[in-house]
């Protein structure tokens, strides 16, 4: 059996390992936290730092292939492993582009992939010279994560809030919709696209409220998005699974926002709503099987289950029992012992070909399920 | 989080643990083989003999609840654990009935559940007195498994082949169809029934060829089967999940053949074809959540993937890659290192509302996928 390792042990690794149990494969996880969501589901767990060269190299050197469930890994170790003949999904060269926002923006420009206008700034003085480019968003090229390393710069008075290191200054664009597409690329170069999903935001909280599949966009926008997402992935020349997040402007233009070279939150609905899930698909790619079918079985809505504000500690899922009565809702609780405000603790996918049914049930779940800590 | 243990580490445990990762639960497995299909998917693995009193008792004494994936376990240890307040799915009293074919037959008679006519024999002399009851099938009350402990007694000349221990002599009945129903029973006594499935046999090999859901039976037979299956399970007075296998005679009578008080081969199709799978359902029962929906999403066909005759050794799945191109087929390879003739190595579920599509693809898979050993 092939030996395949995953860097990171979070919920993406957890769902990847649930899918792995359908295939003949021996699985390995490298992760610092032995109680992380994926730690117990692999054949062999290694405690270690995915950002440390030695930890990653030693983990990978006896495996056949390696993938990631988070980008923030030691790329140098993966490059050395690749030179030694290991197959890495995605290629380390892809991680170098994706993990650096400046490199990622330049990649889009180089390949004529539409993206919001930007300039690179190397320090605060650079930023100060860009007052005509404002309002804009300042994004640290490296090391930003989960909202950190991002700063809105509306006018001159905000410049002091900017970053004094290589950053991307991105022009604010008008956004009519945010959509995403998952794309699978086989080792043989074959490509399969999942239908686009639409992110619906809760504007009061500035949080993803839920995600609909398929996205409600015109055919014209759909084809444009498909072509742009394909170009974004094809030019990476790497097997793996990719999420391409895009903005649709009020004029119907499509701009790439960002990409992830791995299984992704915007593909969770594929577990129940599509013939081959994003997780199944990545195993097919890594085991060099044919790509799976990206066809939907039903339309779907995916909603994250997030730690409630004001609660930190041992997680308790208030209302879960009542919500489990909903017939066409599939709950995924990630088994994290501790909740924190905003922490992703699970998700639910509702399947139905009636949009009203999807929205009604998502709303019920939103108002009746909350992740709190026990008093 | 609740601590729930599984006795046995085979493919049923494997699929149970795949489903467990959707819920907040800490999982334990007791199994002699540390490389069995389920061993790596639990939080805590204990190497031990599920038929040994001490092994089962020590495994269970610090857990909240225990279930089985095979009946052949130490019932006395489970009884002691039950007395000490552990919840056992199913109750040990149920295992006592199910694990002894004489007790099982008497249970059906006691509760007026139709089953094929039988007499009990305690030794060969008893059997010799039953010539008027022949042709019949002689079944050892205890210890029979996978075809062992079963002997066809057509006439007097076969009597020497019978068992010299407590056995059931079952009259041969004419069978038009074999069907099965999965039934879920909550701790609160609530019951949910999955639609009946139909077993289609390969008469040349005397092996299950495949299984169709829903079964093609008349409404009258359906209601009869439902009532009989319900009575079979209800009188056990135990929470858990149950498979009831039944014969339909040419006259439309329904007779219970046997029961299993656990997740079962005849419920595998529920993973993809029903809203709540049999595995999801058992977790809901054990975690005292509401029962899931047994409604089908699509019709389905389930086919076991069996080790080919003439091959023993490291398993190789010849033709699997080609078969993975079939869009609506879901493969489950159990990850057993070694194949043997007739060994269950995996299964595939095909979903479609077109019966011709189900049959055509099942036939393709039957002829193009074989589990052999590497030369």
Using pLDDT thresholds of 50, 70 and 90, give the confidence band for residue A102.
Answer: very high
Contacts of A288 in chain B (CB under 8 A): 321
Using pLDDT thresholds of 50, 70 and 90, give the confidence band for residue A336.
Answer: very high
Using DSSP, state whether A334 is helix, strand or coil: coil
Measured CA angle at A360 (ends A357, A362), to 5 deg: 105
Q: Does B281 touch chain A (CB under 8 A)?
A: no
Contacts of A333 in chain B (CB under 8 A): 22-24
Predicted confidence at residue A181, as pLDDT, reads 98
Q: Check: CB of residue B307 under 8 Å from CB of residue B369.
A: no
End-to-end CA distance of chain A: 47
Q: Tell me the domain boundaries of chain A.
A: 2-89, 117-171, 177-373
| Dihedral pair phi/psi, residue A253, rounded to 5° | -80, 150
Quick one: which of B142, B70, B162 has its CA closest to B101?
B142
Residue A181 tokens, joined: 């597409």
Using pLDDT thresholds of 50, 70 and 90, give the confidence band for residue A148.
Answer: confident
- B22/A332 CB distance under 8 A: yes
Residue A146 tokens, joined: 């989960």
Q: Is A120 exposed, middle or buried (0-12, 13-18, 19+ CB in 10 A)?
A: middle
Q: How far is CA B341 from CA A350, B210, B301, B333, B371, in A?
A: 42, 18, 23, 16, 9
Q: Does A192 touch chain B (CB under 8 A)?
A: no
The mean-pLDDT minimum among A197-201, A349-353, B161-165, B206-210 falls in: B206-210
Chain A residue at shortest CA distance from B12? A21
Chain B residue at shortest CA distance from A1? B337
Using pLDDT thresholds of 50, 70 and 90, give the confidence band for residue B215.
Answer: very high
Q: Does A357 touch chain B (CB under 8 A)?
A: no
Q: Check: CB of residue B297 under 8 Å from CB of residue B343.
A: no
- A284/B324 CB distance under 8 A: yes
Using pLDDT thresholds of 50, 70 and 90, give the confidence band for residue B216.
Answer: very high
- Which pLDDT tens digit goes with each residue over B4-52? 999 999 999 999 999 999 999 999 999 999 999 999 999 999 999 999 9
State the average pLDDT for chain A. Answer: 95
Predicted confidence at residue B145, as pLDDT, reads 66
Q: Does A4 touch chain B (CB under 8 A)?
A: no
- DSSP sequence for B255-306: EEEEEESS--GGGTTHHHHBSS-HHHHHHHHHTTPPP----BSS-EEEEEEE
CB contact burial B89-110 (16+ within 10 A = b; e otherwise): bbbbbbbbbbbbbbbbbebbee
Predicted confidence at residue B206, as pLDDT, reads 65
Predicted confidence at residue B201, as pLDDT, reads 84
What is the least distance, in Å, from the CA of A22 to any CA of chain B? 4
Angstrom distance (rounded) from CA B50 to CA B55:
7
| Dihedral pair phi/psi, residue A351, rounded to 5° | -115, 135
Q: Does B15 touch chain A (CB under 8 A)?
A: yes
Using pLDDT thresholds of 50, 70 and 90, give the confidence band for residue B217.
Answer: very high
Q: Does A295 touch chain B (CB under 8 A)?
A: yes
Predicted confidence at residue B205, as pLDDT, reads 65
Angle of the B11-20 helix axis to the B278-286 helix axis, nearest 10: 70
Predicted confidence at residue B143, as pLDDT, reads 78
Using pLDDT thresholds of 50, 70 and 90, give the confidence band for residue B72.
Answer: very high
Mean pLDDT for A162-175 is: 94
Using pLDDT thresholds of 50, 70 and 90, give the confidence band for residue B373.
Answer: very high
Quick one: which of B177, B281, B301 has its CA closest to B239?
B281
Using pLDDT thresholds of 50, 70 and 90, give the confidence band for residue A375.
Answer: low
CATH (residue range A177-373): 3.30.470.20
Query: Cα A173 to the chain's mean position, in Å?
Result: 22
Q: Which of B27, B40, B332 sits opposite A42 (nearest CB)?
A: B40
Q: Has the ipTM of the complex gone over 0.90?
A: yes
Using pLDDT thresholds of 50, 70 and 90, give the confidence band for residue A275.
Answer: very high
- A14/B25 CB distance under 8 A: no
Using pLDDT thresholds of 50, 70 and 90, give the confidence band for residue B375.
Answer: low
Chain B residue at shortest CA distance from A314? B1
DSSP letter at A291 equals P
Angstrom distance (rounded) from CA A254 to CA A114:
7
Mean pLDDT for B286-312 is: 97
Q: Check: CB of residue A165 under 8 Å from CB of residue A140.
A: yes
End-to-end CA distance of chain B: 47
Using DSSP, state whether A47 is helix, strand or coil: strand
What is the least distance, in Å, from the CA of B24 to any CA of chain A? 5
Query: Cα A344 to the chain's mean position, in Å?
Result: 12
- B327/A40 CB distance under 8 A: no
A173 is in an annotated binding site: yes
The mean-pLDDT minimum among A141-145, B173-177, B183-187 falls in: A141-145
Q: Does B40 touch chain A (CB under 8 A)?
A: yes
What is the least distance, in Å, from the CA of B205 to any CA of chain A? 27
Farthest CA pair distance, chain B: 60
Cβ-Cβ pairs closer than 8 A, A with B, add up to 91
Chain B residue at shortest CA distance from A15? B21
- B1/A41 CB distance under 8 A: no
Sign, CA torsion A5/A9/A12/A15: positive
- Which pLDDT tens digit goes with each residue over B110-125? 999 999 999 999 999 9
- A298/B297 CB distance under 8 A: yes
Predicted confidence at residue B321, as pLDDT, reads 96
Predicted confidence at residue A7, as pLDDT, reads 98
Angstrom distance (rounded) from CA A299 to CA A351:
6
CATH (residue range B2-89): 3.40.50.20
What is the least distance, in Å, from the CA of B45 to any CA of chain A? 10
A101 is in an annotated binding site: yes
Topology classification of domain A117-171: Dna Ligase; domain 1 (3.30.1490)
Using pLDDT thresholds of 50, 70 and 90, give the confidence band for residue A145.
Answer: low
Predicted confidence at residue B374, as pLDDT, reads 81
- Which pLDDT tens digit goes with each residue over B31-43? 999 999 999 999 9
Contacts of B274 in chain A (CB under 8 A): none
Q: Check: CB of residue A191 under 8 Å from CB of residue A184.
A: yes
Q: Does A315 touch chain B (CB under 8 A)?
A: yes
């Amino acid at each position: 059996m092939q030996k395949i390792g995953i860097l990171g042990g979070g919920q993406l690794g957890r769902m990847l390992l649930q899918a792995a149990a359908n295939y003949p494969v021996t699985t390995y996880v490298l992760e610092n936290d032995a109680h992380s969501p994926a730690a117990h589901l692999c054949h062999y767990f290694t405690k270690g730092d995915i950002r440390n060269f030695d930890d990653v190299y030693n983990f990978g050197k006896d495996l056949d292939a390696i993938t990631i469930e988070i980008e923030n890994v030691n790329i140098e170790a993966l490059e050395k492993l690749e030179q030694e003949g290991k197959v890495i999904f995605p290629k380390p060269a892809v991680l170098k582009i994706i993990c650096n926002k400046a490199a990622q923006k330049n990649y889009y420009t180089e390949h004529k992939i539409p993206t919001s206008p930007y300039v690179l700034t190397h320090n605060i003085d650079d930023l100060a010279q860009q007052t005509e480019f404002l309002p804009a968003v300042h994004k640290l090229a490296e090391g930003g994560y989960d909202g950190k390393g991002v700063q809105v710069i509306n006018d001159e008075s905000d410049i002091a809030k900017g970053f004094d290191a290589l950053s991307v200054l991105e022009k604010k664009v008008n956004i009519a919709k945010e959509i995403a597409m998952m794309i699978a690329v086989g080792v043989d170069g074959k490509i399969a696209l999942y239908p686009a999903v639409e992110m619906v935001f809760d504007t009061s909280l500035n949080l993803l409220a839920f995600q609909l599949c398929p996205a409600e966009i015109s055919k014209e926008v759909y084809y444009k998005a498909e072509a742009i997402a394909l170009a974004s992935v094809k030019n990476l020349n790497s097997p793996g699974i990719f999420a391409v997040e895009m903005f649709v402007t009020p004029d119907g233009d499509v701009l790439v926002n960002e990409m992830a070279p791995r299984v992704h939150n915007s593909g969770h609905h594929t577990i129940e709503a599509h013939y081959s899930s994003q997780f199944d698909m990545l195993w097919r790619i890594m085991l060099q099987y044919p790509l799976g079918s990206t066809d939907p079985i039903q339309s779907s809505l995916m909603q994250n289950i997030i730690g409630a504000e004001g609660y930190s500690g041992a997680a308790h899922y208030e209302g879960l029992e009542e919500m489990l009565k909903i017939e066409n809702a599939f709950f995924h609780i990630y088994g994290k012992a501790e909740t924190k405000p905003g922490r992703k603790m699970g998700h639910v996918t509702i399947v139905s070909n009636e949009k009203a049914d999807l929205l009604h049930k998502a709303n019920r779940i939103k108002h009746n399920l909350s992740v709190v800590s026990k008093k």
